[in-house]
Structure 1
């Protein structure tokens, strides 16, 4: 899947570093509801490549290499705790950290992953981390949104 909005149309000096709540309420919720929002994130299959090969158009912090994407959640993974991506995998380190959406009808589920590279019979942990944000309903959290927001960064 290619980057949908390769040209990010942002004003000079714009610094895109949203908090978890801003990322969900100002971007993900509006994306799901087809409402207008600032053109700061595009769609990309974050599981097709290694994190260091992500499109530069979505990098918002040169020194920290932070990337932000939307991704359709239409894939099924054999193991939800370890998702293949490129020549490695994203392994979950913190599962289902939840907080309420401001409208109190939705719940936000945040999962945290670390990228591991396979080397021979071993796997080496990298310094790349990923936050996945999914919106579910308070009465049925398992029924999440078809789109997720991702923050990928190097520590």
Structure 2
């Protein structure tokens, strides 16, 4: 249904999404040549008397974008500057105007504007955006057979979605976190390192070889590998040694640092060879 209450018969799924070139050649050109031209998809509005949030209710159709024919309001009767102020704010041009071509021929220009609340230059920027289409090139108003009294344009108005800014450093933390192994693997590796460190600590502090003072207190080298030494050790298992039990020197050297000279002592005292 349009603004006049008339029902518009449209096929199911119909959407009005014209290209920039179609807006210029199929709609704006016809409006400039014939002011009575009234398509079903584009209405008329005075953007100087309407706030952007009121425009969706005045449009003939549209869900996220609304199209209007507008007459550019001159700020001064003899000048070329356009009045873009409303009661609540003003439209401010941003960026550079873009060319619109039909094939290789220039047919129009596209200007982007943003709505600001308040008065320039201290206005507050909003999310309302407008694309203004005007004729240019060979079909500009000044090159038409009969120059129009008013300069018509087509305005496409829409509200830009809010942009959520990510905190600084989030991307770096995320990239570094991918290099860290899972928590369980990290904890298991740490526990393995702690167990290895504890084993090394125990190997380095075996009661038999902790200090020379203890060795002397045990009666010298002759009793260094006596059964009492191994039975009282905090690291070696409690083994009841007998004359039939043979200790492999390589096994002792593996468990007790400094046991590499066991064979030397055995050869001197005959302890290892006697078994």
Q: Give the structure-2-normalised TM-score.
A: 0.45
CA pair 59-141 structure 1, distance change in 2 beyond 3 A? closer
Equivalence map 1:34-113=2 (5 Å): 34=34, 38-58=39-59, 60-62=61-63, 64=64, 66-73=65-72, 75-77=73-75, 80=81, 83-101=84-102, 104=105, 107-113=107-113
The answer on whether the counterparts of 2:91 and 2:114 sit within 8 Å (CA) in structure 1 is yes
Shift of 1:80: 4.2
- Contact map agreement 1:101 1:108 (CA 8 A) in 2: no
Residue by residue over 1:7-51, the C-alpha shift from the partner in whole angstroms, topping out at 9 and shown as x without a partner, is 473515321121211211221122223396742112211221210
* Structure with the higher fraction of residues in helix conformation: 2
* Cα pair distance change 1:136/1:110, threshold 3 Å: same
1:37–1:118 distance in 2 versus 1, CA, 3 Å: closer
Task: Kindly report the root-mean-square deviation, in angstroms, between the aligned alpha carbons of the 2 structures.
Answer: 3.2
Task: State how far apart, in whole Å, the 2-side matches of 1:38 and 1:59 are.
Answer: 10
Q: Judging changes above 3 Å, is the alpha-carbon distance between structure 1 residues 100 and 53 closer, same or farther for their aligned structure 2 residues? A: same
Shift of 1:69: 0.4
Instruction: Give the direction of change, closer, same or farther, for the CA distance of 1:93–1:153 in structure 2 (3 Å limit).
Output: same
**Residues matched between the structures, number:** 145
1:53 Cα deviation from its structure 2 partner? 1.1
Gaps of 5+ in 1: none
The residue that corresponds to 2:23 in the other structure is 23
Cα displacement string for residues 55-102 of structure 1 (whole angstroms, at most 9, x for unaligned residues): 51416343x2x11000123x2126948720231000000243112345
TM norm structure 1: 0.75
Equivalents in 1 of 2:159, 2:56: separation in Å? 15
Higher relative CO (Cα under 8 Å, sequence separation at least 6) belongs to: 1
Distance in 1 between residues matched to 2:22 and 2:70, nearest whole Å: 17
**Structure 2: gaps (5+ residues):** 161-275
Q: Secondary structure at the match of 2:10?
A: coil
